[in-house]
Amino acid sequence: MQTLSKYAPLTPVPLDSARFSVNASTEIKLSDLLEVSNIGQIARVAIGGKWKREPAPIVNTPGGVLQQFNLETEQHTHLCFYYRGAPASQAATDAFRSVLGLHPHLLDMDERKSVEEILREKIPQKGFAYCSIKTVAIGLRMVLVVEGVYKQHNMRTITVFIDASKKHEGSAVQEVTFLAPRDAFYKHYPTIMNAFKSLKWL
C-alpha cells in the first residue's frame, strides 16, 4: 500500500461562489432538528436538538456576520456561523492555504504559529488551551478544525475554519463553532461531530 506524506499536495477544489452571510437564499428550519441551508460555503447542515435562533448580534469588523443558535435544553450552549468580514493578511492567507493544501494532519508548532491570525482568539496568548488542531477532509473540501478550552470560563469549543475565498487562496474565512460548558459539550459532542462530518458544500 502506498503511504502518503502529509506534505503531498491535494488537487484544489474549484468553488462556484464565495457567499458568507445570511442572505435571501439562506433557509433556517427549527423543530427537533436544526437545518441551515445556503449559508456561506455551506449548502446544508442538520443538527439534532431543540435550537433557538438568537437575534443577530453586533459584529465589530466591517462586513462581519454572526448567526447564533442556542440549545434550549442546555444553558450557555451555542452554535455559531461566523464570517469575519475583513480579509486575512497575505502572510496568514499563505499559511492557511498551505496547511489546507496538505493531506489531513495534526499541525506542528510552526504551522500553529503561522495560522494564529486565522484562529483569532483561539491561541494560548489569549487564554485558550488546545486539545487538538488539525486539518480534516469533509467531502472534497479540506478544513481546519480546532478543539480546545477557554481557560478563564472553562468553556469547551470546537470550530471548523473554512476557506471561503472565491479562488481558494485562503484570504476569506468562515467559521462554524460549537461552544458549551464541559458537561454539555461532551454530552452533545457526538451529535455535533456527526453534523460537521456531513456538511454539504455549495
pLDDT at 63: 76
What is the rounded distance in angstroms from the CA atom of residue 137 to the CA atom of residue 146? 14
* Rg of the chain (C-alpha set): 16
Specify the pTM.
Answer: 0.84
pLDDT at 135: 97
In the block, residue with C-alpha cell 480546545: 148
Strand partners, 173: 163
pLDDT at 32: 77
pLDDT at 26: 66
The pLDDT tens digits along the chain (202 residues) read 333 333 333 333 333 333 344 455 667 776 678 999 999 899 999 998 899 988 876 677 777 888 999 999 998 999 999 998 889 999 999 999 999 999 999 999 999 999 999 999 999 989 999 999 999 999 989 999 999 999 988 899 999 999 998 777 889 999 999 999 999 999 999 999 999 999 999 8
The beta-strand segments (E) located in the chain are 27-29, 33-39, 42-48, 51-53, 65-71, 78-83, 128-138, 141-150, 155-163, 173-181, 200-201
pLDDT in tens, 133-159: 999 999 989 999 999 999 988 899 999
- Cβ-in-10-Å burial (0-12, 13-18, 19+) of 150 comes to middle
